[in-house]
Amino acid sequence: MKLLWPHAQHLYLSPHLDDVVLSCGGMILQQTTAGRSVAVVTVFAGSPSPSRSLSPFALELHHRWQESALQEEFSDPPAVRRIEDIRAFSRLHPTIDVIHFPFMDCIYRVHPVTGEALYVSEEAIFGELASADPAFEPLEISPPVLDEDTLLHCPLGIGHHVDHQVVRRVVDGWGFDASQVRYYEDYPYAGEPGAVEAMIHPDEGWIPHITPLSEAELESKIAAVSEHRSQIKTFWENREAMAESVRTFSARTGGERVWIHAGQ
């Protein structure tokens, strides 16, 4: 399967339909405002077949998302989330190229032989990657072609969510020059004490780059995150708690921070 990648000066890879706006919304706002082209590709944005039997864990998450979204029609949760994603980036800037790949979130992925669900609990989705996980191959064999002035932004993998692990491992395997890759801190997982330090070891040549955010830029980011209504209660009690958490993390880091791996 050959993937159709966009061409942009900043190419962001988002495991799920809220990760990039949560982690990099302010940077993207600055880049687009400055006239730079930005594309955001969400890797695991596909909808499972209506005939597929879902695990009790997946159904539980659907129920949680529906309650958070306050939406009666929820027969296709990923479709709802894709609409939320488009609205979120529209709040930041109308020129952002929003792409949704058809691959399944880990809660829908099954063993290619037995058909059994691979990740059936909270512990599983933050655990080890299943050896039979089919997510790798289509990404590994069809990397993007980066222009000379393109920067590729991908998650560090903070929080150890299996979908974040997949994207990080695939990007590292593509072998792009380190000067073209930026690793963003997976928020809100990065807000946990010691979470960033567990991924970044000074003796491995990691260089931080901080983008300060103005109060207006921070508020625009919060407004964009708010469009992901189905996901708010996954991490916070309500929108106000989310906004306060985003402001606190931004103050702690000095804005939004990415890392360049310069090597030893």
CA 105 from centre of chain: 11
Domains and CATH numbers, the chain: 10-261 (3.40.50.10320)
Question: Does 1 have pLDDT greater than 80?
Answer: no
Q: Can you give the C-alpha Rg of the chain in angstroms?
A: 18
Q: Look over the chain and give the mean of its residue pLDDT values, rounded to a whole number.
A: 96
The arithmetic mean of pLDDT across residues 153-160, rounded, is 98
The tens digit of pLDDT for each residue in 115-150 reads: 999 999 999 999 999 999 999 999 999 999 999 999
The tens digit of pLDDT for each residue in 170-192 reads: 999 999 999 999 999 999 999 99
> What span, in angstroms and rounded, lies between the C-alpha atoms of 158 and 1?
29
Half-sphere exposure of 11 (CA within 13 A, CB side): 21
Q: Let me know: does 62 contact 77? Beta carbons within 8 Å.
A: yes
Question: Does 32 have pLDDT greater than 50?
Answer: yes
Token pair, residue 6, equals: 């966009």
Q: In the prediction, which pLDDT does 43 show?
A: 98
Question: What value, to the nearest 5°, has the Cα angle with vertex 80 and ends 97 and 94?
Answer: 25
Extended beta strands in 206-261, E state: 206-211, 256-261
The arithmetic mean of pLDDT across residues 32-43, rounded, is 98
Secondary structure of residue 110 in the 3-state scheme: strand
Question: Does 214 have pLDDT greater than 70?
Answer: yes
Residues 133-145, buried b or exposed e (16+ Cβ, 10 A)? bebeebbeeebbe
Q: With bands split at pLDDT 50, 70 and 90, how would you rate the model's confidence at 5?
A: very high
The length of the chain, given as a count of residues? 264
Q: In the prediction, which pLDDT does 202 show?
A: 73
Q: With bands split at pLDDT 50, 70 and 90, how would you rate the model's confidence at 211?
A: very high
The arithmetic mean of pLDDT across residues 34-42, rounded, is 98
DSSP-derived secondary structure letter, 78 = H
Question: Does 157 have pLDDT greater than 90?
Answer: yes
> What span, in angstroms and rounded, lies between the C-alpha atoms of 261 and 254?
20
Q: How many CB atoms lie within 10 A of CB 49?
A: 9
Q: In the prediction, which pLDDT does 2 show?
A: 82
Q: Let me know: does 100 contact 82? Beta carbons within 8 Å.
A: yes
Q: In the prediction, which pLDDT does 263 show?
A: 66
Q: In the prediction, which pLDDT does 223 show?
A: 98
Q: With bands split at pLDDT 50, 70 and 90, how would you rate the model's confidence at 230?
A: very high
Q: In the prediction, which pLDDT does 254 show?
A: 98
Q: With bands split at pLDDT 50, 70 and 90, how would you rate the model's confidence at 264?
A: very low
Q: Let me know: does 149 contact 160? Beta carbons within 8 Å.
A: no
Q: In the prediction, which pLDDT does 201 show?
A: 83
Q: Let me know: does 18 contact 186? Beta carbons within 8 Å.
A: no
